[in-house]
């Protein structure tokens, strides 16, 4: 199976333009980028189907190698329906933002900026972990003792002192 070079070039240009448009702050450009990506994906699926063959209808006299694969066509049809739904949803969002704010640009949310500037603290990740995490080991009671383990006692000797066998 050979692939049509023109379709690959068109698909690459559509993907590049679509990704460029998605990275913009204008919702209309994001919509156009999504539409270009959907069309590029349709061309990609079309090129995986190979060259056109006979209709995929069963006939006893026809060689099975000459049939066309109907799966890429079904996937393209599904992709068209999904891209139509995403386009309709994005058009609704664009219309609503235009009615409310009379602008198409996405602005920075002040609350998101404030949250991004606050330092992150995770109690589980930032907690002091004892050297021995087994429930059978003797651990010091204070955090200062946890940072400075006793040099004479190793974790294995702590378990043997409690009655365990080595």
The predicted-structure confidence for 4-41, as pLDDT tens digits, reads as follows: 888 889 999 999 999 999 999 899 999 999 999 999 99
CB 27 within 8 A of CB 94: yes
Residues 28 and 110 in one domain: yes
Flag whether pLDDT at 93 surpasses 60: yes
pTM, full prediction: 0.61
Residues 102 and 140 in one domain: no
CA torsion 73-79-85-91 (nearest 10°) is -120
Q: What's the whole-number mean pLDDT along residues 76-85?
A: 95
Q: What pLDDT is attached to residue 137?
A: 60
Does residue 11 lie in a domain region?
Answer: yes
Name the domain count of the chain.
2
Instruction: Return the sign of the alpha-carbon dihedral for residues 21, 25, 26, 31.
Output: positive
> Using CA atoms, how far apart are residues 37 and 15, in angstroms rounded to an integer?
6
Flag whether pLDDT at 95 surpasses 90: yes
Q: What pLDDT is attached to residue 166?
A: 47
Does residue 59 lie in a domain region?
Answer: no
The predicted-structure confidence for 36-63, as pLDDT tens digits, reads as follows: 999 999 999 988 877 776 666 667 787 7
> Using CA atoms, how far apart are residues 29 and 22, in angstroms rounded to an integer?
7
Residues 47 and 86 in one domain: yes
Does residue 122 lie in a domain region?
Answer: no
- The domain containing residue 136 runs over which residues? 129-159
The predicted-structure confidence for 97-136, as pLDDT tens digits, reads as follows: 999 888 888 888 888 888 888 877 777 777 776 666 666 6
- 38-68 burial, b if ≥16 CB within 10 A, otherwise e? bbbbbbbbbbebeeeeeeeeeeeeeeeeeeb
CB 62 within 8 A of CB 54: yes
> Using CA atoms, how far apart are residues 42 and 75, in angstroms rounded to an integer?
8
CATH number (domain holding residue 85): 1.10.287.3510
């Amino acid at each position: 199976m050979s692939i049509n070079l023109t379709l690959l070039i068109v698909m690459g240009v559509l993907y590049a333009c679509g990704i460029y448009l998605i990275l913009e702050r204008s919702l209309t450009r994001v919509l156009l980028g999504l539409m270009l990506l959907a069309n590029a994906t349709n061309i990609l699926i079309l090129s995986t189907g190979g060259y056109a063959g006979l209709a995929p209808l069963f006939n006893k006299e026809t060689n099975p190698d000459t049939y066309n694969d109907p799966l890429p066509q079904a996937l393209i049809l599904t992709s068209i329906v999904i891209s139509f739904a995403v386009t309709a949803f994005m058009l609704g969002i664009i219309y609503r933002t235009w009615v409310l704010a009379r602008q198409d640009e996405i602005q920075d949310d002040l609350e998101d900026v404030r949250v991004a500037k606050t330092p992150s603290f995770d109690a589980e990740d930032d907690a002091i972990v004892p050297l021995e995490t087994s429930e059978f080991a003797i651990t010091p009671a204070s955090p200062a003792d946890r940072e400075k383990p006793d040099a004479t006692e190793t974790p294995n000797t702590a378990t043997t002192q409690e009655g365990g066998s080595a």
